[in-house]
Amino acid sequence: MTATITADGRFERIGGPGTTECPTCGAIGPMTVTAFPAFSTLKAERPAQVGVVLQCSACKAPVFLRYRARAFRDDRVELNPLPQVVEHPPERFSLSYLPPPVAARFREALACFSSGFWQAFAAMCRQTARATFEEVGDAGRMRIFDLVAEVQELGDIDDATFAAVRRIIFDPDAGRQEPEYDRRQAAVLLETMKDLLTQTYVRRAKLRQALKVRRFFANQAAGIDEDEPEAPVRISPLKDRPA
């Protein structure tokens, strides 16, 4: 696997994944290299990092990569073949289905994740979980405990990684010095939070919305007058459910 900028003005990548995720449209695929520094400039200045611009074939947006320079030869500049992605695609979630206090905190959590701020992301997930527990009450909290256990089992996630996730979601002893969270733990935490919020709020809201639309058309066919359903339906918390 190599990446080089040659003396005759070419950028060459051999081996490696060859695909990049577009931070603008989320498409994953091969991209065209559109810009990189001139070989003569690199030889003269010998920078530690080299910026390369690709173009997404799906949406034509520029995609920026940062390579570490490895060696400056007479005929080429060798780069570390694994580039650092400069922009990350924004994490998306159907926030409109969440109660406002939960949505406000999870929106910030997603922004922290997209920017690679793992500690801030963990802190906002803790706040999101706390807002959710306040919303759902004790019965809902027990249900979320089961949901999270299910995520570990379904995802086949190891205990060490998942202990960090549980600590964020359930640890009441917040405020202590936090351990360091890395990208891998943050990714598991993100998927756990998404599943938890989907199961707690989104799934039910979508189901109710779908049923409401079905009922509207069934009533219309039967000649029963009913107001048109709105989308999405505002939902009530889990605490109105039997445990």
Interface with Zn ion (CB under 5 A): 22, 24-25, 27, 56, 58-59, 61
Tokens, residue 67: 């390579």
- Choice between 24 and 199, CB closer to Zn ion: 24
Closest separation in Å from C-beta 57 to Zn ion: 8
Closest separation in Å from C-beta 19 to Zn ion: 12
Beta strands in 15-94, from DSSP E residues, in sequence order = 20-21, 28-29, 32-35, 49-55, 62-72, 76-79, 84-85
Closest separation in Å from C-beta 113 to Zn ion: 20
- Choice between 26 and 100, CB closer to Zn ion: 26
**Torsion sign over Cα 205, 207, 208, 214:** positive
The candidate with the shortest Cα–Cα distance to 181, out of 153, 162, 196, is 162
- Choice between 59 and 174, CB closer to Zn ion: 59
Euclidean distance between CA atoms 39 and 36, whole angstroms: 9
Closest separation in Å from C-beta 32 to Zn ion: 12
- Choice between 25 and 35, CB closer to Zn ion: 25
What number of other Cβ atoms are within 10 A of residue 48's Cβ? 6
